[in-house]
Structure 1
Amino acid sequence: MDIKNDKITIKPLRDKDVGIFSKWLAKEYIYKWFCPDGEEHKMAWLDEVNNRNTQYHYMKHFIVYYNDKAIGFCLYLDCYFEKEYIPEHYGKTVDEKETVFEIGYLIGEEEYLGKGIGKIIVKKLIGEIAEIGGKEILADPDEANVLSIRTLLSNGFVKVKDCDYRYCLK
């Protein structure tokens, strides 16, 4: 399969997309990274996407499409609103909205793995964040998730320490 960059799009997650996201989370190769604490973690993800317009308004969730087929998920969140997690995990405090963001992504359809789509997704997230004036992007892949780390590094992220990768927007 020859993937064309211009055929990859990200569109805001809709209520009707929650089912496919839930299906993807249950896949072993995704579950191990997105739900390291088990079912409780999966339920937290589903709560987040179901309450994205209220409690989690500072997070932007997307479905990734190849042509018109849903193949993955990605998000970014404004770190200003994560007053405990960001300082604890990254050792930094964010005092201003829309300056520092964290990203996450997955490819939910196996036949699209290993095709460079993760790199395209990260580029698109960088573009979205640049458009709103973001200054820095954080990512926290598990160190055993070598493919995700390679994807981040190939997009210009720099490793600060284990599970702490950062990208500075110019």
Structure 2
Amino acid sequence: MALRLFASQFVGRSGIQLPALATGWRSFATAVDGLKYAKSHEWAKVDGDTATVGISDFAQTELGDVVYVELPEVGSEVTGGETFGVVESVKAASDVYSPISGEVVSVNEALTEEPGKVNTEPFEGGWMMKVKLTDPSQVDSLMDKAAYEKHCEESAH
């Protein structure tokens, strides 16, 4: 997730690299098998021609307590690598990027009332949108758990 607050310091070709945790690198329970990850710290869980999308545990940890989530409208089109929403926390406002392209078929309305689910349940109740894929092959360009964990470890150093 590209943190606008840190944009001037951490911009790279693939987007923003999140700063290392204050306590240094931590062991990951942060990535989940079966999900695909973007370098910008969003995940996608593909089920047939639909993907559920959210932000990773690493991203929510970096953000801190989430207080507001802006989601796309159902029926809108999202494009892989482009902004689909915003997450605001006590630390920063952050654009959220879609890891895949397609039509938004559902959004997690619960986040309107309980944005903190992004922190407490990043891979379950904190999902953000469901997208009907226009190009399922895009999923192949995303990272698996091991590659994403390595990416986060390198980002933290």
Q: TM-score, normalised by structure 1?
A: 0.26
Task: Considering fraction of residues, name the structure with more helix.
Answer: 1
Give the greater-gyration-radius structure (CA).
1
Q: TM-score, normalised by structure 2?
A: 0.27
